[in-house]
Structure formats: structure tokens, C-alpha cells
Amino acid sequence: MTTKPPPSVTPAPEKSLEKIAYASVAEIPTVEPHDRDRLGYNVWRWLAYRRDPLELAVRTAGARVLIGEEEAIQRIRENLKQQGISL
């Protein structure tokens, strides 16, 4: 049996919403890395559609953060502002 090499992956551009969203939650301490991934995904959805407040996006993620929810939201807001996202 032969196997093929995996397909190559093209990274997203630096200014894409995906990179911005996941970078904004990279410093948030969570129980597991998947919690951070869920949080990043929900921040990306918030950036893409902006239907609800950021607080609701963070709460909807259900991520088990090791800091308070308010502190996590504040850190995400600061990171987004540093990347040029107006809130």
C-alpha cells in the first residue's frame, strides 16, 4: 500500500480576519487548547458579522478560561485595538 503526502496548506494572509481573531485570543489562558480555538472561532464570527456584542460571542464560545470572563473580554478588546480593529 502506498500513501500520498498530505496536501500543502497555504497560510492565511496576515491581515485576514482569521489571523486577527486567533491572534486576539492567543494570550488567553484556557484549560485546553481547543477552548482557545473555540474562543478564536467565535471572535472570528463576531468580526465577520457583528450582529451581537463581543461579550455574547465570548460567552457563546463556552471556552473554559482560567481568568475571569470580564478580564478575558478586556484582553481581547485590547488585542483587537492593537491590530487596528475599531470596536
pLDDT in tens, 15-63: 899 999 999 999 999 999 999 999 999 999 999 999 899 999 999 999 9
pLDDT band at 72 (very low <50, low <70, confident <90, very high): very high
Which cell is 19 given? 489571523
10 Å CB burial of residue 20 (0-12, 13-18, 19+) is buried
Q: Cα(67)–Cα(60) distance, rounded to whole angstroms?
A: 16
Task: Residue 30: name the closest of 21, 19, 39, 42 by CA.
Answer: 39
Q: Cα(75)–Cα(61) distance, rounded to whole angstroms?
A: 16
Look up cell 478588546; give the residue. 77
Task: Residue 28: name the closest of 80, 72, 83 by CA.
Answer: 72
- Helix, strand, coil shares of the chain as percentages rounded to 5? 55, 0, 45
pTM of the model: 0.85
